[in-house]
Structure 1
Amino acid sequence: MLKLCTLNHAMLSDRVVEVLKEKNIVTVSEFLHTDSNKLKQLLNIDLIDLGTLKKDLWSILGILPINGLQHYNILINQSNYIPTGIKSLDELLGGGVLSGGLIDICGLSGSGKTQLYTTIAVNWATNDDIHTFVVDTKGDFSGDRINRILLSRDELGADKRKHIMRNIKVEKCNSPFKLIALMRRLLDQMSSHPKVKLLVIDSLPTLWFLFHGNKRSLNQRNLAILADLLRKLAVEYSIAVITINIETRTTFVGFGCAGDKSAIDDANQNEMDLMNQTESPKTTSALLPALGKHWNSICSLRLRIERKLDSTNSKSIFTTTEPSNERIIRILKSNQNQTDIHCMVHLTNTGIT
C-alpha cells in the first residue's frame, strides 16, 4: 500500500498528512475511499480542489475513474464486427459477428450447427489469421471435417491448410465442473494468446443434462458461474463466444388457440386453473432451445439453423434419397439486430455458403 506523504502531491502538506494520520487515514487508497464531504470538514479544503487532489492520486495509482457512458464508449470502440465469410449471414447480421458477444446457435439434430461454426472458424483462420479454441463436450469433434473443407478450397495450398489446422485448438471436456475450471484457466492465459478471437463450446446442454432431480439448483448455480466467466472472456479480450445448443419440440396444453404465444410462454401455468376451465383444452407445440429462459437472457445473439421448409406441405425435408442442402438461419434474439428475420444458406463441400 502506498502511504500518504508530502511527496505524493503539493497539496499534501505536513499538517494535512498529520491530521489524516490522526483519523487513521494513512494510505493513498484509504484517502481516496474516504467521503469527500468528511475530508472537506477535516482538512478545510474546497470540494473542487479536493476533487483535483483525488484525481491526481488516482493517476498515481494508475487508475483513472470513469463514468458509465465513458465505459460504454470504450467497449463500443473495442468491439467490432468480424465478417463470418458467409455472405447472406453477414448481410443478415449487419456486417458479421460482434466481438465481445455471446452467440447461441441452436437447432434440431442434423440441422447443420457444427457445420456452421466450423465454417466460421475456417473462414476466420483463412482470411484474418484468427485462432479458434473449441471445447468438445460430446467427444465427436472431427479434424477430418475441417480438412475436407480445406481440401475443397482449391486456392489453399498444403502449407496454408496446415497453418489453418494449427490455428484451431480443441480440448475435450466431460463435466460442468471441468468446463468452469477450463474457462478460469483460459482467462488466466488469454494475455499469452492474443490471436484467439473465437471460443466455441460444442455443446453446452450435453453437460447440463447430467443434472437431474434434486441437483437442479446446482445446475442453475454452475450455469450462472459459467455465464460470468464467458462474459468476462468476451468483453475483456474482445472475443466472440459461440455456444452450441439443441432444440426439442415441446407440447403445451392450454385453452387458447393453437399457436397462441401466451400458451407457449406460460409453460408452468397452474394446474388448478386448467381444471376450472369449461372448454376443452387445446395443444400447442413449439421448438424450444435447451437451458431455458436463463440462458436466453445471457446470450446477446441467438441464431436458429433449420432445414428449408417444403413449400407444398410445410414439413421439413428429411428424405434420404435427395437430402436438401438448403438451410435457413433465423435471428431469434439480438441486442443489435431485428429479430425473426432470416437468410438462406447452403451446405457444400467448402462449408456453408
Structure 2
Amino acid sequence: MALLEPFGNDLTKYIIQRLNRHKISKVSEFLFANDKDLTKITNLSETTITELKRDLRKLHGVHRAQLSHIRRKIVKETKYNTGIESLDCLLGESSLFPGAVWEICGFSGTGKTQLCHTISLNLIKNYNCDTLYIDTKYDFSGIRIRQMLKSRNISKTDAGRIMQQIKVERVDTLEGVIKVLKELCVQLEIENADCKAIKFIVIDALPAIWFQHRERERMFLLSTLVNTIWKLALQYMKTFLLVNLTVYKETNLFENGLQYSQLGDTDGEVNEEALMQASVESSIVPALGRYWSSVPHLRLCIKSNEKKIEPVCKRTIAVLKNCYGPTGGNCNVSITDAGVI
C-alpha cells in the first residue's frame, strides 16, 4: 500500500508528520487505525477522519490479499484477556482476539449469563470495548452490572461510562437477531462511528429462539445467522460470545424431534430435570445440531460439580473445542457479587 501523501485540505504535510511519529506512514495503516486515536493524533474531527478514509479508499482501494494480511496482523497484535484469571491461564495464547467466535454452553442455571456479564464488563473496563448485548431471554440485568461495579469499588463516574458502553438489544426471535446484526453491517458500511466503536457482541442465548421454528426454517435461519456472524467477524473484526445449551446425546433435541415446549419452562429456559428423565446416558453435547458445532473457534462448557459438596457459587469451566490450542482442560471459578472470578 502507498505511503501517505498530502491529500485535500485536511491531510497536510504537518498532519502526516504527526501520524508518522505514531508509526502511521502508509495509507493502509491510516485506514485501519481507530478513529478516536486518529482524532487525538491529528486534532481533526471524527467526521473529517471518516471522510478522509472514504476518499482514500476510493483513490487507492484495498485488495483482498492486502486485507487478509492486515487482518492477520491485527489478530496477532491484539489480544483480549477475559479478566478471569484462572480462565485466562487455562487458555493462554487462545485468548479472545478481533474476529474470534466463542461459545459458552451448559445446562440451565449454571451461570452462562453471569459469565457473559463478567466478560463484557471486564472488556469495557480493561480495553474500552463497547459491547452489543443481544438479549433473547430478557435475562440481562442492569442491577446486576451495578452490583458488580459497586463490589469492585468503581467510581460513579466510571460506572456510568461503563454502563453506557453496554448497548442492549432485546429480541425474542431468530429473525430479530439476524435483523439487528444485518443493520449493524449496514451501519458499518457507512462508517457509523458509534457502531465502529462496538468491538464485542454477545448473543444470550440462541436455543431460546432456535426451538421456536420448524426444522426446515431452522436450517435456513441458522445459515443466514452464521453468514452474518462471519461477515462481522472477518470483515469488521468483531468478537462474538454466543450462549448455547448442552443436551444429552441420546435425547438430542434436534435429532429426536422433541418439542421445545416439552422440555422448557414458560420463561424460555430448558428444564434440566426433563432432559435428565428423557436421557438414558450422560453423554452431553451442545444443542443446535452438527452444522452449528463447527461454527465457534472456541467452545467452553460451564457446569456445577455434582459429585462434590460445594457452595452453589462454585463452577468448573471446561474447554470442549479449541481451534488455536489444546482441548480438554478445565479451571475452577466462583460466582461472586463482583462477577465470575
CA 1:60/1:329 → structure 2, altered by over 3 Å: closer, same or farther? closer
CA 1:99/1:66 → structure 2, altered by over 3 Å: closer, same or farther? closer
Q: How does 1:22-101 map to 2 (within 5 A)?
A: 62-63=60-61, 65=63, 67=65, 72-79=68-75, 80-95=78-93, 96-101=95-100
| 2:120 equivalent to 1:132 | no
Gaps of 5+ in 2: 1-56, 257-279
Structure 1: distance between partners of 2:180 and 2:129: 21
Q: How does 1:198-217 map to 2 (within 5 A)?
A: 198-211=200-213, 215-217=214-216
| 2:337 equivalent to 1:341 | no
* Residues 281-302 of structure 1: per-residue CA shift (max 9 Å, x gap): xx53312211011111111111
Structure 2: distance between partners of 1:240 and 1:60: 27
* Residues 121-165 of structure 1: per-residue CA shift (max 9 Å, x gap): 1111112211111111112321111111011112x1111111111
Q: How does 1:323-342 map to 2 (within 5 A)?
A: 323-342=311-330
**Partner of 1:259 in structure 2?**
none
Q: Secondary structure at the match of 1:285?
A: coil
Structure 1: distance between partners of 2:143 and 2:327: 35
Q: Secondary structure at the match of 1:298?
A: coil
2:210 maps to a residue whose letter is W
Structure 1: distance between partners of 2:84 and 2:63: 41
Which has more helix, going by share of residues? 2
Deviates most, 91-100 or 156-165: 91-100
Question: 2:113–2:139: 8 Å Cα contact kept in structure 1?
Answer: no
1:289 alignment partner, one of 286, 291, 315: 286
| 2:179 equivalent to 1:181 | yes
CA 1:139/1:65 → structure 2, altered by over 3 Å: closer, same or farther? closer
2:70 maps to a residue whose letter is I
- Identity among equivalent pairs (%): 35
Question: 2:248–2:281: 8 Å Cα contact kept in structure 1?
Answer: no
Structure 2: distance between partners of 1:202 and 1:350: 20
**Structure whose alpha-carbon radius of gyration is higher:** 1
Structure 1: distance between partners of 2:335 and 2:327: 23
Question: 2:249–2:283: 8 Å Cα contact kept in structure 1?
Answer: yes
Structure 2: distance between partners of 1:72 and 1:327: 39
Q: Secondary structure at the match of 2:134?
A: strand
CA 1:157/1:206 → structure 2, altered by over 3 Å: closer, same or farther? same
TM-score by length of 2: 0.69
CA 1:66/1:203 → structure 2, altered by over 3 Å: closer, same or farther? closer
* Residues 277-329 of structure 1: per-residue CA shift (max 9 Å, x gap): xxxxxx53312211011111111111101113435xxxxx5xxxx73322111
**Partner of 1:351 in structure 2?**
339
CA 1:66/1:170 → structure 2, altered by over 3 Å: closer, same or farther? closer
Question: 2:313–2:334: 8 Å Cα contact kept in structure 1?
Answer: yes
- CA deviation after TM superposition for structure 1 residue 61, in Å: 6.9
**Partner of 1:305 in structure 2?**
302
CA 1:173/1:64 → structure 2, altered by over 3 Å: closer, same or farther? closer
Q: Secondary structure at the match of 1:245?
A: strand
Q: Secondary structure at the match of 2:294?
A: helix
1:102 maps to a residue whose letter is V
Q: Secondary structure at the match of 1:82?
A: coil
2:247 maps to a residue whose letter is T
**Partner of 2:148 in structure 1?**
149
Between the two proteins, the alignment pairs up a number of residues equal to 254
- CA deviation after TM superposition for structure 1 residue 235, in Å: 1.7
**Partner of 2:26 in structure 1?**
none
2:144 maps to a residue whose letter is R
- CA deviation after TM superposition for structure 1 residue 222, in Å: 0.9
* Residues 167-199 of structure 1: per-residue CA shift (max 9 Å, x gap): 101011111112211111011123323321110
